[in-house]
Amino acid sequence: MLILNKTAGVFFKPSKRKVYEFLRSFNFHPGTLFLHKIVLGIETSCDDTAAAVVDETGNVLGEAIHSQTEVHLKTGGIVPAVAQQLHRDNIQRIVQEALSASRISPSDLSAIATTIKPGLALSLGVGLSFSLQLVGQLKKPFIPIHHMEAHALTIRLTNKVEFPFLVLLISGGHCLLALVQGVSDFLLLGKSLDIAPGDMLDKVARRLSLIKHPECSTMSGGKAIEHLAKQGNRFHFDIKPPLHRAKNCDFSFTGLQQVTNKRIMKKEKEEGIEEGQILSSAADIAATVQHTMACHIVKRTHRAILFCKQRDLLPQNNAVLVASGGVASNFYVRRALEILTNATQCTLLCPPPRLCTDNGIMIA
């Protein structure tokens, strides 16, 4: 094998080590020799059918995703049997698309990784049975993946992060703070006592009928709230953040949802409109809910940072806080967390928004 030395403009016969380095620098194309391990990741834990092909150095070779958001928005929430059917209808196509984009033949895969928990049982089942069938056909190893661990470790694709670090996972189904001490070594510091923040935002968005709002009709509840909040006044209402006296790192969002519902009912009366119509103060309500949620998340995270530093579980300076999950794609929440990390000599790292929401890359 000969390598072109670009500076000298000549070919030379390299050492074995150089050949290896050269091959490692390649992205894969059909017919090209490669040494990297390549994993197909499959995710069906909730309402996204997603697949990706990633190599062991984190190069994303191919990706595909089918979102069910629009269907579930119409039915006013996720109906598990509907989600299951949609996963069944799409999984083969999505896996095929990810593989085609990667230009990797299935026989060249090193393993197949699939979300096995936590999530909706009917949705998880589709990904699992599809994967096991594929594993059997291709005779490849199977890697079972914990969905929350995948969210927590996604940051290692985009940033060099040393263990230990603190992780805040805020999504539609989960809300937790954990100290990540290794790839599968997590110390749980706090969790939601009731619903997750994304679930709360989805419920408020539904109550505000934002699906009928011309600017938000195809957005998830959380995204719609973020979008409208930019036009609203967060001081219009005053809602106290939940659990402000609790001396732990737990969260709660049901109270916030209920108080917001009461405000909405009061406003509907004042504006003389029925449930299902858009309130003129919808943007103010969105801004207030988003702000109160962000304050609550930041206060609980602050407690976790102090706890870890007091016990030397995190370094005193430049400790890393990773925020991930669908709600961490919210820029208001990110800004609030940034203020916290600046004040506590920590560094905030968030995966790009498309890697915060469910995807196949994090599983692979």
Residues that bind ligand KG4 (CB under 6 A): 46, 171-173, 198-199, 201-202, 220-223, 226, 325-327, 329-330, 357-358
DSSP class of residue 29?
-
Q: Which is nearer to ligand KG4, 190 or 221 (CB)?
A: 221
Nearer to ligand KG4 among residue 134 and residue 201 (C-beta): 201
Nearer to ligand KG4, 131 or 357 (CB): 357
Q: How far is the CB of 363 from Zn ion (least distance, A)?
A: 10
Of 182, 171, 164, which Cα lies nearest the Cα of 147?
Answer: 171
Q: How many CA atoms lie within 13 A of 20 on its CB side?
A: 3
Residue 172: name its binding partner from Zn ion, ligand KG4, none (Cβ under 5 to 8 Å by kind).
ligand KG4
At residue 226, the 3 state secondary structure works out as helix
Q: Which is nearer to ligand KG4, 69 or 248 (CB)?
A: 69
- Residue 223 near which of ligand KG4, Zn ion, none (CB within 5-8 Å, type-dependent): ligand KG4
Three-state SS at 51: strand
Tell me the three state secondary structure of residue 117: strand
What are the percentages of helix, strand and coil residues in the chain, rounded to 5?
45, 20, 35
Q: Quick one: 174 or 303, whose CB is closer to ligand KG4?
A: 174
Q: CB nearer to ligand KG4: give 250 or 358.
A: 358
Place of tokens 């469910």: 358
Minimum separation from the CB atom of position 32 to ligand KG4 (A) = 34
CA–CA dist 207, 264 (Å, integer): 8
Which residues neighbour 219 within 8 Å (Cβ) at sequence distance 6 or greater?
69, 210, 227
Choose the one of ligand KG4, Zn ion, none that binds residue 338, judging by a C-beta under 5 to 8 angstroms depending on kind: none
Question: Is the preceding omega at residue 118 within 30 degrees of 0, hence cis?
Answer: yes
Q: How far is CA 210 from the centre of its chain?
A: 23
Q: Choose the contact partner of 41 out of Zn ion, ligand KG4, none; CB within 5 to 8 A by kind.
A: none
Which of the ranges 15-23, 92-100, 157-165, 352-360 carries the binding residues for Zn ion, by CB under 5 A?
352-360
Angle between helices 197-207 and 282-310 (to 10 degrees): 170
Q: How far is the CB of 356 from ligand KG4 (least distance, A)?
A: 7
Which option in Zn ion, ligand KG4, none does residue 55 bind, with CB closer than 5 to 8 A by kind?
none
Asked if 66 and 98 touch (Cβ cutoff 8 Å), the reply is no
Of the pair 91, 294, the CB lying nearest ligand KG4 is at: 294
CB of 258 to ligand KG4, least distance (A): 18
Q: Which of 123, 239, 358, 359 binds Zn ion (CB under 5 A)?
A: 358
DSSP state of 276: T
Tokens 């510091």 -> residue: 189
Q: Scan for tokens 């390598």, then name that residue.
A: 3
- Give the single-character DSSP code of 107: G
- The nearer residue to ligand KG4, 148 or 243, going by C-beta atoms, is 148
Q: How far is the CB of 312 from ligand KG4 (least distance, A)?
A: 31
Where residue 168 falls (left for φ over 0; alpha for ψ -120 to 50; beta otherwise) is: beta
Residue 261 is encoded by which pair of tokens?
């519902």
Decide: is 171 part of the binding site for Zn ion (CB under 5 A): yes
| Closest distance to Zn ion from the beta carbon of 278 (Å) | 29
CB of 151 to Zn ion, least distance (A): 5
Q: How far is the CB of 337 from Zn ion (least distance, A)?
A: 18
As given in the structure block, the two tokens for residue 281 are 């103060």
Query: In the complex with Zn ion, which residue's Cβ is closer, 90 or 171?
Result: 171
Query: Which of the choices Zn ion, ligand KG4, none does residue 330 contact, using the CB cut-off of 5 to 8 A by kind?
Result: ligand KG4
Cα dihedral 185, 189, 195, 201 sign: negative
Which residues contribute to the site for Zn ion (CB under 5 A)? Answer: 171, 358
